[in-house]
Structure 1
Amino acid sequence: MTSAPSSVGTRARVASVLVGLLVAALPAAPVAASPGTGSAAAQAESAARHRPVPPHVVGDHTVPAYSYADAIRESVWVQTRADSDGDGVRDRVAVDLVRPREAAAAGVRVPVIMDASPYYLCCGRGNESELKTYDAAGVIAKAPLFYDNYFVPRGYAFLAVDLAGTARSTGCEDVGGPAEVGSATAVIDWLNGRARAFTADGRPVSAAWSTGQVGMIGKSWDGSVANGVAATGVPGLATIVPISAISSWYDYMRYQGVLRSTDYPGFLHSYVNGRDDDACADTLARLRADSAEETGDHNRFWAQRDYRPSADRVRASVFVAHGLNDLNVTTNQFAGWWQELADEGVPRKLWLYQAGHEDPFDVRRAEWVAALHRWFDYWLQGLRNGVMDEPRVDLETAAGVWTTQRDWPAPGTRDVRIALGGGDGVTGTLGGRGARPGQERAYVDESLTEAELVAEPSTATAGRLVFLSGALTTALRISGSPSVRLRIRVDRPTTELTARLVDYGTAERVQYGSSEGVRTLDTESCWGASTDADDACYRDTEEITEVSDHAVLTRGWLDAAHHRSLRLRTPLLPDRWYTVTVPLNAYDAVLPAGHVLGLMLGQSDPEFTETNDRDATVRVDLGRSELILPIAGRAGLPVIDDAPPVRTAPADPSAARTARDTRQVP
């Protein structure tokens, strides 16, 4: 684990942002400084104390002071620096915005909440798949989601941005790449006077109504864009709220060298493409050629789409939200980003919940809206409401059960190395005394489904190795990113290696499968003001729970030939032993006393990945292999010599075991 950074850097970033807010809030005309009046920060604070308080601010929070029905609605096109479609003209991205008319009339500049998305016309946003709609003049009439309804009356502008190559924008969508990120960055430049924008008929238009302070928000692909823009360090971006978002596109489409599915970049480009096919044919061809699908290697293409190494450039604060059981954008996406931000002292906050690929608006609605309100008021309006003095993490530990903690992973977490023992010859042990070098177990590749891999662990099943702890004598808290270190010998040049941690024990759990763990109800609730074209009411939701006898906690995959480096394959020699590490996705869970922790090892995994490297036999040297488990507190696994018998409902024998298209849309 990396130790927490000093709070000095965080305080400096916070102070810098707040001074910027104070300066941005001053009148547009310059204020002359008298000799000896002190620093720019002091002048800004003094001016702020004497300026009139706008009607949307009461104490330490904003209130709905402006009419949503009368708000200014505009559609403009911002010119970017790129010509991604190669037509000799810079790309222009469509920006549909809603802002308070009364504030504009009074000369009160407002900050911006922005959601840049590829989905506004092709696919929709939110649980109800809302699309943008326009009036007869082509001006925005309805923006998806509640952000404009709720925040515009409170003194914010809302911008819904069509990424390059999507909806009404020109250019070409390059799936997480420079054109996509640059198209959103250009909008922030325009809001700060560094880029040009035009109306539909070509007239230049400025953003003099804006303070220049921007907060980006969005779920999935939208939140991934926010991560990418933050990684550029663009001035004016004060905060981002990435929800279920990608921080490394390689890790989204490749699992440690294993393809998630074929033609993934091309599939996503085509899914959201808003241009004629011919306009972006070259971009599509480059996506397919440069992604190195034939090898699974990490290369320059993927480095451009990995935002984590640029965490040192992030100027914005970051409020992350992610489902612990998200099988679409897996949890390593938030965990890797979170750790890089922590190392750089970036001000940050985190929500983790039991659902899958969901927005917390559909998990814990009232509390989420309140949290966003306070976060944006602090970072965009400069209101000192104490949000940064609260615990950094909100965590759902079971369905509807929430707690807070100082940080994540849980403070006091340590990596514990747990030996793999031979057990009774069918089921191995976790934490056993019997593990010794030279004690081997072999398993063949049977392309098991997950249900087959984890069911009935005390029963011999070809294609897997099973290791069980003893029944826990006290509750066990796992918090962080586990991994499995294996000493292996393989009779093929490579094979896919998979690992899963399983909680064996009866409990009521969120069922996060195809439903993502959330059910849509017939009732609805309203969050903001409405018009005839754009209402603020959304159908209520609830978590789906079920009593089950076991649950998969986390999963991991590795192409064995990428065990040395993701940049280059190293084929395995059949007569040689290799040490490889299979990283598992980040997780946070409490296993109650009496439950049993299981580690399941398999090979090809047709439900989650796609590989042509099958039919291998893997031999594992148990005495030189181990599970590395991030454990919070003093509790550990009981030391045992023989695996306890564990019974579960058998796997459905009709489950398909053939490869399928595993591509999803982020």
Structure 2
Amino acid sequence: MRSLPARLLGLTVSGTLLACLPAVVNPTPAQAVAPPNVQNNQTTARYPLADALTLTVNITTRVDTDGDGRNDKVQLRIKRPDTAGRGDADVRVPTIIEPSIYNGTMRSGIKQHPAKLNSDGTPPQLQAPLVPPAIDHPARNDDDVYRAAPAETWTHMTSERYLDDEFVPRGYAVAELDALGTGHSEGCIGVGSKSEQAGVVAAIDWLNGRAAGVDDAGLVVTAADWSNGKAALQGLSYNGALSIEGAASGVTGLKTIVTEAGIADWYRYVRSNGAVVGAAGTGYAGWDLDNLASEYNNGPSPCGDRITSSITDRLERDTGDRNAFWDERDYTTGLENRPNASVFVVQGIKDTTVRPENATLYWNALQAWGVESKLWITQAQHETPYVTRQVEFLRQLRLWYDHYLYDLPNGITAEPRVDVQQSDLTWTTQAVWPALAADAPDGAGAVTLSTRIDNTKTARSLAAGANWANSKVDSMTQNTEPAVTGPVAYNALTNSDYMDLNQATLKYLTPVLNKSVTLEGTPSFSVVAKTQGASPYLNALVVDVGDEGSRPRVISRGWLDTRNYAAPGTLDLKAQVVVPEDAYRLYKWDGQPIEATVPQGHRIGLVLLPVDSRNTPHYVGENGKQSTTLSIGTETSSVTLPVKSGKTALPG
């Protein structure tokens, strides 16, 4: 890797003067000075955006994902400052890359999976085959001229358009990379696979002279005359996932990534504790990774059969099991996935597309690995904080990139590592997340509250303390397919929607809070239960219950497939047969992370459900029976809440 160029300072010395010097001279070492676009340890806007240079390069990867006998090429489109035009021909610049699947035209893909299943996991009636539509692909020849990017993309290089405006004038190249199998890149989309990772690695290798690239005319092109070899990856959603994949490769030259709502564990994108769970806006339970792959596999390579064999056939969709397919796509475990680059994580706690556990589990892994990292937790859905906190986000981002791509000691690493947006939309900073300090003024830490029901089974509560007499079992029966406005009305898969608490039977509430309680972190559930009927799922919700007549707000959800049972406190994620008459079992699982304040005068509730038909497959039992009865042991079931402040307001 080439460092920033050294520039010499000194005076020209005449030959006469040199003759007067001693025969042996120890010359003064060359002194490195800041490039001309750097002042006071920060980059400045020196290079006019209107003068920026552009280049399209098609880079050979190390993989052949479409099986045509040739390694695939990925296309990288670059906008860089005209340093030579300002007399800075010896300056070499770093590159901020946005890897993306979204640069081509979205296709009609594989038919969604059946949303209604028999209780053994098979479809209750014949379904149309899951076959990708016939698509005419261009012929591929060795002398192909690679397609250039449409002219309009040069106006703003990336979907995060501010990157061009902010960073090209400051001496950064900004680039857009088509992921394998998408846009103008060859190959087949791998959705989180190690082969998909290779496409990202190739771009950074090319910047460092380790991979071959050709321009639109097929002529060999390198970055030796302008790149310093240092690179960053940044993106939202799938683009953030590609950034995480690139970081996990350990490729030399990648110095940092900024991932905004990126998927770090693809199992947790469409699965949870053995349950098949949909993502908002994707058709819910019928949509899966093969649908994603087929809709965005819009590159020049024919890949329909390969998507079926490499993705559809390996999903374990009927069981929700983890397997080698999912393990390959988990970047939150294993030292082999430890980034050699720093990581800036951004996540909306109310995100319904990429659930926040992806970010928080990745954050936890980064801390365990000792990776230099920074975290933003927002109250937003699936969006960049550039939309909601533009000035501060750009300030930190500029300092972040200046530090890691220009090696500038600007103090960003001395600032608080975590920025948190609270329920009232104000911001605070802290050193860690979650911050459950034991010395908080009004108490903090994990609080476990047990489900309780009085002798007449008319009052249910969350409480601490000894068992209550004669309240062993509590039950509810729910239909697999309630109307949208039925027993529990879901507006969408979200951590901030509302529900009809009056018709939810298994609901347990704290007393009215005498002060506000802030929850920060991941709740966990411990429930002794059995299910009888069609659905094998056990669903838990943490809710904020306000005044009578107001709609309770859901602040966390947790899904579990009871078939994935091994022993109390463990989930082996290998499905077993559901026996409706089986004895009660103890199930333990986590919900989605919370960053929420429940106000004084409200109550915190736990709701348990056997059916979440808006977000999970609809199960049908024998003779078309669609109802499920969930029974729980109230003395042995509980929720553990991560309390940041206000612990003394809870039962205990």
| TM-score in same-fold range (> 0.5) | yes
Give me the whole-angstrom Cα distance separating, in 1, the residues matched to 2:500 and 2:313: 44
Cα distance change on mapping 1:548 and 1:56 into 2, 3 Å: farther
Q: Secondary structure at the match of 1:185?
A: helix
The aligned amino acid for 1:201 is A
Deviation at 1:374, TM superposition (A): 1.1
Q: Secondary structure at the match of 2:243?
A: helix
CA gap 1:353/1:135 in 2 versus in 1, 3 angstroms: closer
Counterpart of 1:639 in structure 2: which amino acid?
Answer: P
- State the alpha-carbon separation in 2 of the partners of residues 103 and 407 from structure 1: 44
Cα distance in structure 1, aligned partners of 2:153 and 2:514: 64
Give 2:577's aligned amino acid: P
Q: Does 1:299 align with 2:323?
A: yes
Secondary structure of residue in 1 paired with 2:169:
helix
SS in 1 for 2:175: strand
- Separation of aligned partners in 2, 1:68 and 1:93: 26
Deviations 1:228-286 (A, max 9, x none): 11112222111111101111111101122222223511211122111368444323432
Partner of 1:8: none
CA distance, structure 1, for counterparts of residue 339 and residue 246 of structure 2 = 9
Contact 2:181–2:301 (CA under 8 A) maintained in structure 1: no
- Which residue of the partner structure matches residue 582 of structure 1? 589
Deviations 1:579-614 (A, max 9, x none): 102320011112122110011111221222224265
Q: Which amino acid aligns with 1:321?
A: V
Distance 2:91 2:163 in 1: 20
> 1:612 is paired with a residue of what secondary structure?
strand
The match for 1:647 is none
Match of 2:157 among 134, 139, 143: 143
| SS of the residue 2:422 aligns to | strand
1:468 paired with 2:509, answer: yes
1:451 and 1:190, CA in 2 relative to 1: closer, same or farther beyond 3 A? Answer: farther
The corresponding residue for 2:247 is: 230
Q: Which residue number in structure 1 is paired with residue 297 of structure 2? A: 273
Equivalent position to 2:4, from 4, 14, 25 = 25
- Sort the Cα spacing of 1:227 and 1:415 in 2 relative to 1 into closer, same or farther, 3 A: same
Distance 1:141 1:197, change over 3 A: farther
1:174 and 2:195 are equivalent in the alignment = no
Q: CA distance change for structure 1 residues 434 and 467 in 2, over 3 Å: closer, same or farther?
A: farther
Contact 2:37–2:170 under 8 Å retained in 1? yes
Partner SS, residue 595 of structure 2: strand
Letter of the 1:143 counterpart:
M
Q: Secondary structure of 1:69's match?
A: helix
Question: Is the aligned partner of 1:286 residue 2:310?
Answer: yes
Gapped regions of structure 1 (runs ≥ 5): 1-19, 30-45, 125-131, 508-546, 641-666
Is 2:435 aligned against 1:410?
yes
Matches within 5 A, 1:489-638: 489-492=530-533, 495-505=536-546, 549-564=551-566, 565-573=571-579, 574-612=581-619, 615-633=627-645, 635-638=647-650
One-letter identity of the residue aligned with 2:198? G
Partner of 2:56: 75
In structure 1, C-alpha distance between the alignment counterparts of 2:269 and 2:367, rounded to whole Å: 22
Residue 440 in 1 paired to residue 452 in 2?
A: no
Is residue 421 of structure 1 aligned with residue 452 of structure 2?
A: yes
Report percent identity of matched pairs: 31
Q: Paired residues, what number?
A: 552
Q: Of 54, 61, 70, which residue of structure 1 is paired with 2:35?
A: 54
Distance 1:337 1:135, change over 3 A: closer
Per-residue deviation, 1:570: 2.1
2:377 is paired with a residue whose SS is strand
Following superposition, the deviation at residue 566 of structure 1 comes to 4.6
Query: Which residue of structure 1 lines up, in the alignment, with residue 525 of structure 2?
Result: 484
Query: How far apart are the structure 1 equivalents of 2:193 and 2:92?
Result: 32
User: Which amino acid in structure 2 is aligned with residue 417 of structure 1?
Assistant: T
Tell me, what secondary structure is at the counterpart of 2:49? coil
2:389 to 351, 364, 372: 364
1:476-533 deviation line (CA, Å, top 9, x unaligned): 12111101100112235861111111111269xxxxxxxxxxxxxxxxxxxxxxxxxx
Q: Does the 8 Å CA contact 2:236/2:260 hold for their aligned counterparts?
A: yes
Which stretch shows the higher mean deviation, 337-346 or 50-59? 50-59
Q: Distance in 2 between matches of 1:410 and 1:583?
A: 18
> Could you say which residue in structure 2 is the equivalent of 1:63?
44
**TM-score, normalised with respect to structure 1:** 0.78
Pairing of 1:303-342 with structure 2 (within 5 A): 303-310=327-334, 313-342=338-367
Greater mean deviation of Cα atoms: 329-338 or 259-268: 259-268
Q: Which residue of 1 aligns with 2:78?
A: 97
Aligned residue for 2:528, secondary structure, equals: strand
1:123 is displaced (CA, Å) by 6.0
Write the mapping of 1:639-650 to structure 2, written as runs, cut at 5 A: 639=651
Q: Is the Cα contact below 8 Å between 1:297 and 1:569 reproduced in 2?
A: yes
Q: Residue 201 of structure 2 is aligned with which of 185, 189, 202?
A: 185
1:219 aligns with 2:236: yes
Shift of 1:292: 1.5
2:372 is matched with: 347
**What is the SS of the residue equivalent to 2:222?**
coil
Match of 2:606, as an amino acid? L
- Is 1:197 aligned to 2:228, yes or no? no
Q: Deviations over 1:156-196 (max 9, x none)?
A: 11110000110111111111112221101111111122211
Q: Secondary structure at the match of 2:340?
A: coil
Partner of 2:124: none
Match of 2:168 in 1: 152
For the 8 Å contact 2:186–2:300, the answer to whether it is kept is no
Aligned mate of 1:241, from 251, 258, 277: 258
Q: Equivalent residue for 2:179?
A: 163
Query: 1:411–1:635: structure 2 CA closer, same or farther, 3 Å change rule?
Result: closer
1:119 CA drift (Å): 0.3
CA–CA separation in structure 1 for the residues paired with 2:51 and 2:203: 24
Q: Hey, what's the Cα distance between the residues in 2 that align with 1:152 and 1:435? A: 65
| Residue type of the alignment partner of 1:82 | V
Aligned equivalents of 2:214, 2:388: Cα separation in 1? 39
The structure-2 alpha-carbon separation of the partners of 1:174 and 1:365, relative to structure 1 and needing over 3 Å to count, comes to same
